[in-house]
A = this chain, B = another copy of it.
């Protein structure tokens, strides 16, 4: 994600974003928010639909203090998101915490939750900018590699901008926190690390011969990529 030159806003701990539990896990560092957002691939968008919350997974992009979302103009969910406040969560699971007692089992994670009003972007240039942010977030280096949106495609797409001012960050890391009286337990205690990886790219079935996997794709792979025949 590209960074805006504007001054960065600190996290605002309002009654909604302040944590009611585990205040020691709250980080007021804006850099932590950006890091969590930038490392994520999918967010969970909460909107109000017919008076009830609805949570939907979707992609996103960030530029400075703005989170961009997009969707089809035909999607009722995004239209509903404009009418009320939205909530966006990005979560990374880092480990399963095995404790010596059932109620101390936990997860190691990094989580960001943003609250605010999603505004429909109407300016042509900012719409392109927002869509570029979303595509580049999911697939860095791709926007300039592929055909840009046509007028017709743009007309069928809603771009939303959400300010990152009101957000909270929660993280847990490290070992289990067991009670003193359980320390003589013979149960194994520790962390099972969880990680998201990219495997070797799979070329499209209809890819023309002679088109190699470009560096902006192959460089993301965690496991070794098999040599091209």
Q: Which A residues form the contact surface with B (CB < 8 A)? A: 15-16, 20-21, 41-42, 44-57, 59, 72, 74-77, 84-89, 91, 93, 95-96, 98-103, 105, 107, 109, 111, 113, 115, 131-132, 135, 138-139, 142-143, 145-149, 153, 157, 175-176, 178, 182-208, 211-214, 217, 220-228
Asked if residues A21 and B72 are in contact (CB atoms below 8 Å), the reply is yes
- A sample of 5 inter-chain contacts (CB < 8 A) reads A20-B76, A21-B75, A42-B91, A47-B53, A196-B197
Asked if residues A204 and B190 are in contact (CB atoms below 8 Å), the reply is yes
Looking at the complex, which one of B57, B200, B205, B225 makes contact with A89 (CB distance below 8 Å)?
Answer: B57
Across the interface, which residues of B come within 8 angstroms of A16, CB to CB?
49-50, 52, 54
Across the interface, which residues of B come within 8 angstroms of A135, CB to CB?
102, 105
Looking at the complex, which one of B45, B52, B146, B195 makes contact with A102 (CB distance below 8 Å)?
Answer: B146
